[in-house]
Amino acid sequence: MKEIKTEKDLHVPILTILRGGLLHINVIRKKVLRRCGSRMDSTFFSETRDGDRKWSDYIGRGLYKLKEEGSISSPKRGWWQLVNPTTSKTPPCASSIAIQEEDLQNRKL
């Protein structure tokens, strides 16, 4: 599996996890860490200037960027969900294609 090196590498796992419906940020963090922690190098577990772990900060940034892209929304502070493609003003994004590709790769394993 692909090594996690950047915040963008977490977009597909975040989107995949959010297929489960509306989730709180703490649940998202736990699930991403469980799913991707073994693919992160030791620097991801170092502290940032504000005291967070780097991996947690990357998840927060990933959620923000996916929201800006129109793939997800946050109806209430700390809660995240996928945007319904039929009501979205933006066309389907490359991220949804990446999810399908990851599913295909996982089936081959």
The CATH number for 45's domain is 1.10.10.10
pLDDT above 70 (res 9): yes
- Structural domain contains residue 63: yes
- Structural domain contains residue 1: no
pTM above 0.75, yes or no: no
Cα–Cα distance between 41 and 85 in angstroms, integer?
34
Q: What single letter denotes the amino acid at residue 4? A: I
- Structural domain contains residue 104: yes
- Structural domain contains residue 2: no
Q: Where are the beta strands (DSSP E) in 1-109?
A: 23-24, 72-76, 79-82
Total domains, the chain = 1
- Structural domain contains residue 94: yes
What are the tens digits of pLDDT across the range 68-99?
999 999 999 999 999 974 444 443 444 444 55
Instruction: Band the pLDDT of 107: cuts 50, 70, 90.
Output: low
pLDDT above 50 (res 50): yes
Q: Which is more confidently placed, 53 or 28?
A: 28
Cα–Cα distance between 91 and 93 in angstroms, integer?
6
What are the tens digits of pLDDT across the range 16-49?
999 988 999 999 999 998 988 888 877 777 777 7
CB 82 within 8 A of CB 18: yes
- Structural domain contains residue 21: yes
- Domain of 12 in residue numbering reads as 7-108
